[in-house]
Structure 1
């Protein structure tokens, strides 16, 4: 049997037993067992070593892949009559956007899915979130036909997504695209579970980049749901932090607001990955932080902030850990003078809500993921 015909059902990679550093690797003995079982038409779970360890031990094994390899797999979208589901992370919009997507999809219809809405507080104005998603998508040159807010993890609005797919599909294959760590495979698993009752068909993990090749899932109407590899955005916080630290930074449950009373000239550090300066405004103000409960927040005077950060990043201000500092760009800031109640965004971390008519400055490594929007709460 040609080994190119055997694919891991977890990540989609072609199985091979030659190079443990590349995708699809299985030790020779395990590979031979799978090959023999398939030759005998026996039912067997076909997982590469990497996916097996993810499923059973929650252990990540790095492989040698790059974004160019992933992007090449999307090239044929220009020549295919398809429906595209573009999944983005509502906590890291900029980090989860694929800048080259308009080039790959052309005039192909797009449904944009804002995932992880279950992490937002219950009093979130969902209409404002949708408006913000559409505005941001348009800035990137993407004009979705529909926008839906979902949670693959909690199966929120999955039924609505399935109905929307049926309405828009028109006998076309469905391509699911997105950056790593947006919850794409979890969402697909929810769709499959709703349609067929099969659970965890596709490997999922809190680690970015678990799908290494496209996975075609046949549907009852003769078309396929195709899970494409997560595009690696190397500047995402998820690719800088260790898995342990990523759990501290990325919210695991609905976030609870934390209110800080600040005077002009005071600063908040969001661990060692974000900084918020209250520069000027009408006296003491309430600032509301929406972030993971496990994210360490420290208040200090702005005049001492630079020295404090230099001394304590990697020690008190963690994550990042000291050994990760070389991978981290220096903090870079953007200044804002708010005209209305606004959310100041820290991609991958959360946001801080501020009142109108205040001057603030926010920082992240290389100004990564910084932005503002009209307050959604």
Structure 2
């Protein structure tokens, strides 16, 4: 029997090992062969019931897959989450791509407030890319979910690939497979060919999409980035780290020695400075709570899982401790909680930002 691959995640189909990658029951396989749409059980459940089952793939395997990108003469389409640039940078990508052209795609444009101009975001992305050693041939903003600028993306890919293969790379949760689905739909009319979800690590092996001239677009697995908030949240909580709608910024007038809790997922302390407005850019459903800095740690310990949700009580034991990061701010700056959102500081301030252990907190020139 010839080898069959799941068209959702790219895993090799097998009917023997229930817990293994690519498992599908024999009856489902036969049905899939009739329709020409063979999915593994994991992808089938994800697509139809929004159920996720964990598949263990080592970091080494991801590294090997990424090395294959560097060994080929190809256009690399690097998909970045605009909402979480720092959390969606692939460590060492400039080294992996080995001189191949990189087209940088800022996805999830629909999440940013409409007042933000495309030109400003594009320039900001290019500057951030240069800081991490990437020299993209072009930068494009898209929304895979809203099918925004998909034709533009197809045209740019065609322009820059010059007859070569195309590798689409990105860390988990940036919307990479959704973007490829949108491209396929635009070209062929087929909807939702590749399994997409908010869950880290949905694509298990590179998926080949043939092009008319004999070249391929390869969808690679999402590279695991350990600093993303998504890796510390349950399936139910992931919506707070993956907003689906335009963010409505909220401004809080804070006095020194006041604290803002980001539900139970983070904390922002205004330690010293003039009273001022701090603007929060997070998922619209994330509950923010203002309190005094004095006693804030005890407040968190008492209310995490009740007043400060998420995390919930049952998940609290497994949730990492919050780690403190202190900054002195002198100009308009964003304090970014990787994978969750950011707080814009307008004036001079001494602040502390707390995030779960393992999740990075960084400052950047304000994007808005």
Establish whether residue 370 from structure 1 lines up as the match of residue 368 from structure 2: no
Q: CA RMSD in A?
A: 1.8
CA distance in 2, matches of 1:129, 1:339: 22
One of 298, 308, 312 as aligned partner of 1:321: 312
Number of equivalences: 368
TM-score using structure 2 length: 0.94
**Counterpart of 1:267?**
259
- Give deviations 1:290-332, integer Å, cap 9, x for gaps: 1111101111101111111122223322212334344433222
Distance 1:129 1:372 in 2: 17
Normalised to the residue count of structure 1, the TM-score between the two structures is: 0.92
User: 2:226·2:359 contact (CA, 8 Å) conserved in 1?
Assistant: no
For 2:156, which of 151, 155, 164 is the aligned residue?
A: 164
Rounded Cα–Cα distance in structure 1 between residues aligned with 2:344 and 2:70: 41
Q: Deviations for 1:183-235, whole angstroms, at most 9, x for unmatched residues? A: 00001111111122111111111222111111100112321111011112244
CA contact (8 A) 2:9 2:194 kept: yes
Mapped partners of 1:335, 1:33: distance in 2: 58
Task: Kindly indicate whether the alpha-carbon contact (under 8 Å) linking 1:219 and 1:225 is maintained by their aligned counterparts in 2.
Answer: yes
Give the aligned partner of residue 287 of structure 1. Answer: 278
Equivalence for 2:296:
305
Partner of 2:25: 27
- Matched residue, 1:120: 112
> How far does the alpha carbon of each residue in 1:314-373 deviate from its partner, in whole angstroms, 9 at most, with x for none?
332221233434443322232233232222211121111121222222121136231222
Match of 2:75 in 1: 83
Distance between the aligned counterparts of 1:103 and 1:342, measured in 2?
A: 30
Rounded to whole Å, the distance in 2 between the matches of 1:323 and 1:137 is 40
Aligned to 2:88: 96
> Kindly tell me: are residues 355 and 294 of structure 1, through their superposed partners in 2, closer, same or farther at Cα, counting changes over 3 Å?
same
Shift of 1:43: 4.1
Is 2:246 aligned against 1:248? no
* CA distance in 1: counterparts of 2:318 and 2:96, whole angstroms: 30
The aligned residue for residue 350 of structure 2 is: 359
Q: Measure, in 2, the Cα distance between the counterparts of 1:187 and 1:333.
A: 36
Change over 3 Å in CA distance of 1:327–1:90 after alignment to 2: farther
CA contact (8 A) 2:227 2:358 kept: no
Query: Secondary structure at the residue paired with 1:243?
Result: coil
Paired with 1:259 and 1:32, the residues of 2 have a C-alpha distance of 56
2:274 aligned with 1:276, yes or no?
A: no
Alignment of 1:55-74 (within 5 A): 55-74=47-66
Among residues 12, 29, 36, which one is paired with 1:14 in the alignment? 12
Which runs of no fewer than 5 residues in structure 1 stay unpaired?
none
Tell me how far apart the structure 2 counterparts of residues 372 and 210 of structure 1 sit (CA, whole Å). 30
Deviates more, 1:126-135 or 1:157-166: 126-135
The 3-state SS of whatever aligns with 1:246 is: helix
Contact 2:198 2:242 in 1 (8 A): no
Does the CA contact (< 8 Å) of 1:92 and 1:369 recur in 2? Answer: no
Native 8 Å contact 2:171 2:225 kept in 1: yes
